[in-house]
């Protein structure tokens, strides 16, 4: 027997509600019921980071969460980073560095990098590697990803400086 | 794959959770979900009921009781990672937690969930053995406490009834100035360790080892306290030769054998990891 509930939460700044079954995971609900395909399902074991989203500002693997946990939370996905047509500086940095080949892992990496820079605007190589240890790039774009983090960090710092 | 169909329960109190577990057939407890969810996704487990502890009040805390740090079973690994109390009193745990999964999974994963899942290569399991943790378990017959050494009964099988819950973990603190070291070998950072070692050393005023704790993780069906090596070290002046001898004892264990990692390789790693953990611990000792 399956349980069905209506969950209410904030998704990329908008209040939403959805009927979901107990056994549905967050990544399934985002991709199938909200048509947000930027959050990727890959390993379903918490190993690859492709499915990273923020729940109440904390990055989590959405493949390891039941959708019901979202009830009452504030959720941000990769689709919620850009401001209209203006990309987030981290997104721009990934394009500038060419930090992907197939792009499957990219949204997860961008979510993690953005979170890292919000906590530490000038991370060392070691800090970057430690923080991105939960994200796998099967195309192995790691050197370019490291470049992208540095470009994004520099962008964020210059924006911060320009602000009065 | 997707998780199988199950009924979901989210009790608000411990009493309600225990009574649900007593009543439901084939139920699984969900703490942080970072082990259970992969098992559901892979359909390694097919429960009829999932009892989520996420909304049970009062199971997440980190407190100082003077001699020990007392941690609620639903405390998230992230909160352990960022706890100043853990950093000060349990530096071994603070170090080991950084190798537990990744930032994404530590944001959800709980210490109680990891201990009950009881993967022998899990960092928190090894640290609980190293620190001689005491567990508090609640069930329909009331509360009981148990030394961690009695908790593992077989591979990934804790000494806990289906209608009982782990509620609290008491981790005794070592005196200020003790040395600690946690090292592990995994194919990839954040993966479960093929072998890990946790070392604690206390050195007296004359420079001799007054107390030692050495634990191996990942090599056997449960964490291994290397009492023989501990006894060898106590009363001795710490040096490379002594740690090498302790490592050699660790290299003689009966290690697990599986398709990917032969026992002989685990034994080699056990010797190297334990020596490294001891050297690391010794370097951090602050002499009284
Ligand atoms: S799909 Fe979630 S971590 Fe890989
Ligand atoms: S770009 Fe293909 S997996 Fe990373």
| Structure token digits, residue B195 | 């072998």
- Its ipTM equals 0.91
The pLDDT of residue A83: 92
The pLDDT of residue B265: 95
Task: Give A164's pLDDT tier (boundaries 50, 70, 90).
Answer: low
Report CA(B183)–ligand 1 centroid distance (Å): 26
DSSP-assigned beta bridge partners for residue B146: B135
In chain A, % of residues over pLDDT 90: 92
pLDDT at A160 exceeding the cut of 90: no
Instruction: Confirm or reject: Cβ of A109 under 6 Å from ligand 2.
Output: no
- Ligand 1: which of A30, A38, A45, A109 to mutate, judged by most atoms within 8 Å of the beta carbon? A45
pLDDT at A16 exceeding the cut of 60: yes
Run of H or E including B68: strand B68-72
CB contact under 8 A, B103 and A47: no
| Structure token digits, residue A135 | 């994200």
Give per-residue pLDDT as tens, B93-119: 999 999 999 999 999 999 999 999 999
Q: How far apart are CA B25 and CA B47, in angstroms?
A: 9
- Interhelix angle A89-97/A106-119, rounded to 10 degrees, is 120
The pLDDT of residue B224: 96
pTM of the model: 0.94
Q: How far apart are CA B55 and CA B261, in angstroms?
A: 40
Q: What is the mean pLDDT of chain A?
A: 94
B34 contacts on A by Cβ (under 8 Å): 46, 61, 64
The pLDDT of residue B190: 67
Q: How far apart are CA A144 and CA A98, in angstroms?
A: 6
Nearest CA to ligand 1 atom 3: A46
**pLDDT, tens digit only, all 288 positions of chain B:** 789 999 999 999 999 999 999 999 999 999 999 999 999 999 999 999 999 999 999 999 999 999 999 999 999 999 999 999 999 999 999 999 999 999 999 999 999 999 999 999 999 999 999 999 999 999 999 999 999 999 999 999 999 999 999 999 999 999 999 999 999 998 877 677 899 999 999 999 999 999 999 999 999 999 999 999 999 999 999 999 999 999 999 999 999 998 889 999 999 999 999 999 999 999 999 976
B52 contacts on A by Cβ (under 8 Å): 66
Torsional class of A30: left (φ above 0), alpha (ψ -120 to 50), beta (otherwise): alpha
- Interhelix angle A89-97/A142-162, rounded to 10 degrees, is 140
Burial of B213 from C-beta contacts in 10 A (0-12 / 13-18 / 19+): buried
Q: Evaluate whether the domain defined by A4-80 bears CATH number 3.10.20.30.
A: yes
Whether residue B220 contacts residue B256, with contact meaning beta carbons closer than 8 Å, is answered with yes
Give per-residue pLDDT as tens, A121-139: 999 999 999 999 999 999 9
- Opening angle at CA A139, ends A138 and A141, nearest 5: 115
May I ask the CATH class of domain A89-162? mainly alpha
Question: CATH topology of A4-80 equal to that of A89-162?
Answer: no
Torsional class of A126: left (φ above 0), alpha (ψ -120 to 50), beta (otherwise): alpha
The pLDDT of residue A2: 66
DSSP letter for A63, please. G
The pLDDT of residue B288: 65
Alpha-carbon dihedral B272, B154, B213, B273, rounded to 10 degrees:
10
Nearest neighbour of A68 by CB, restricted to B5, B8, B107:
B8
Q: Domain residues of chain A, as ranges?
A: 4-80, 89-162
In chain B, the domains with their CATH numbers are 7-52 (3.30.43.10), 62-172 (3.30.465.10), 179-282 (3.30.390.50)
Instruction: Confirm or reject: Cβ of A157 under 6 Å from ligand 2.
Output: no
């Amino acid at each position: 027997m399956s349980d069905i509930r209506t969950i209410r939460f904030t998704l990329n700044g908008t209040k939403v509600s959805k009927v979901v079954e107990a056994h549905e995971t967050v990544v399934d609900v985002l991709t199938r019921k909200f048509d947000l395909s930027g959050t990727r399902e890959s390993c379903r074991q918490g190993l690859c980071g492709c499915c990273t989203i923020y729940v109440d500002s904390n990055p989590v693997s959405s493949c390891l969460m039941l959708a019901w946990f979202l009830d009452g939370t504030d959720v941000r996905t990769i689709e919620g980073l850009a401001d209209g047509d203006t990309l987030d500086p981290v997104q721009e940095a990934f394009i500038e560095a060419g930090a992907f080949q197939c792009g499957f892992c990219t949204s997860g990496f961008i979510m993690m990098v953005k979170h890292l820079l919000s906590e530490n605007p000038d991370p060392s190589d070691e800090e970057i590697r430690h923080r991105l240890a939960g994200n796998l790039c099967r195309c192995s774009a790691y050197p370019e990803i490291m470049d992208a983090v540095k470009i994004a960090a520099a962008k964020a710092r210059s924006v911060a400086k320009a602000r009065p | 794959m997707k998780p199988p169909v199950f009924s979901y329960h989210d009790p608000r109190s411990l009493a309600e959770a225990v009574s649900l577990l007593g009543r439901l057939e084939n139920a699984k407890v969900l703490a942080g979900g970072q082990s259970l969810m992969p098992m559901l996704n892979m359909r390694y487990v097919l429960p009829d009921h999932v009892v989520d502890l996420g909304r049970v009040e009062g199971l997440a805390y980190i407190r100082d009781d003077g001699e020990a740090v007392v941690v609620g079973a639903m405390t998230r690994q992230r909160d352990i990672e960022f706890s100043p109390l853990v950093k000060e009193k349990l530096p071994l745990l603070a170090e080991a937690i950084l190798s537990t999964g990744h930032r994404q999974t530590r944001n959800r994963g709980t210490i109680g969930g990891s201990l009950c899942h009881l993967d022998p290569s899990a960092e928190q399991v090894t640290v609980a053995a190293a620190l001689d943790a005491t567990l508090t378990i609640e069930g329909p017959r009331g509360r009981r406490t148990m030394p961690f050494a009695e908790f593992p009964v077989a591979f990934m099988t804790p000494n806990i009834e289906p209608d009982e819950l782990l509620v609290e973990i008491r981790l005794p603190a070592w005196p200020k100035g003790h040395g600690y070291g946690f090292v592990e070998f995994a194919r990839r950072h954040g993966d479960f360790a093929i072998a890990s070692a946790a070392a604690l050393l206390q050195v007296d005023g004359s420079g001799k080892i007054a107390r030692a704790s050495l634990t191996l993780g990942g090599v056997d069906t449960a964490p291994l306290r290397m009492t023989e090596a501990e006894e060898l070290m106590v009363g001795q002046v710490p040096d490379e030769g002594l740690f090498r001898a302790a490592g050699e004892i660790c290299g003689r264990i009966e290690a697990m054998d599986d398709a990917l990692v032969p026992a002989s390789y685990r034994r080699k790693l056990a010797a190297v990891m334990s020596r490294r953990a001891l050297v690391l611990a010794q370097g951090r000792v602050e002499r009284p």
